[in-house]
Structure 1
Amino acid sequence: MPALDPSASLPIDSDHARRVEQSLMSLNARIGVLAKVLGADLGAETDVEHILNREHAFFRLQASITHANAGERRLQREWEELRGLLALRCDLMAKSLDELGLDAVRQITLQVQARRDKEGLAPDSDGFHLRHRLNSPSDTP
């Protein structure tokens, strides 16, 4: 499979694809910020799975706390927000694959990653590992 050009634009009449791209950009940005603030490592798919399944050390620790102070409750909300955003991104990508097809979703992920690269962000800082599965072997690090 040939490598796709991440700078290539999606078809002009593809408003839905552009909305998906913007949603993915926004989700990835917020996930990246939350992960950094919380010190959450999203460098491997298993890290993301542990958060999604509430198996991360933070969730296990919180299960044993009966009374949380204001700071602990804020931290709980931020971890739940991170978990929710990761789940929302999974749903967005699954729905987009159904509605737009593999080629369009592959192009969207390449464009989003190209923009994040220009911003100087590490490729896996947002835990978006799906791009590795969507890209051809020559595109994968």
Structure 2
Amino acid sequence: MKIHPFFPLLLLLASAVPAFSDPGGVPPAREITMTDCVEAALRGNIDVAVSRSEREAADLAVPMEEAVFLPRFTGDLSYSRSIGPTGSSIAGTLTIDQSAWNFEAGVKELLRSGTTLSLSFENQRLDAGT
């Protein structure tokens, strides 16, 4: 019977594997409860993570929708000035100097019944001189 040339090499490698293996590398077995198993499965489940983030986003959306019913305050203050030629030189002046102040303030609120309640104040002052 003829021995294959790779057989001694194979025998040498097979005998070396147990010598290099680490018998202390295997962790001891531990018992887990059904609750631990379910918690570990839920922790790694992507569908549960997506559902949790959707719920958190929905919780944040409620205050944003309720903000529609908060009152809105508005205000405006403006000033303008114009210097232009007069239509007549009878008065002795060739230009007219006009300045205008405009002030507006208001509050507007959407009631839960769908009605809009608003209160506003408008004031305008016009000064004209020569």
Query: TM-score, normalization: structure 1?
Result: 0.23
> Which one has a larger percent helix, Structure 1 or Structure 2?
1
Q: Of the two structures, which has the highest relative contact order with CA contacts closer than 8 Å and spacing of 6 or more?
A: 1
Query: TM-score, normalization: structure 2?
Result: 0.24
> Which one has a larger percent strand, Structure 1 or Structure 2?
2
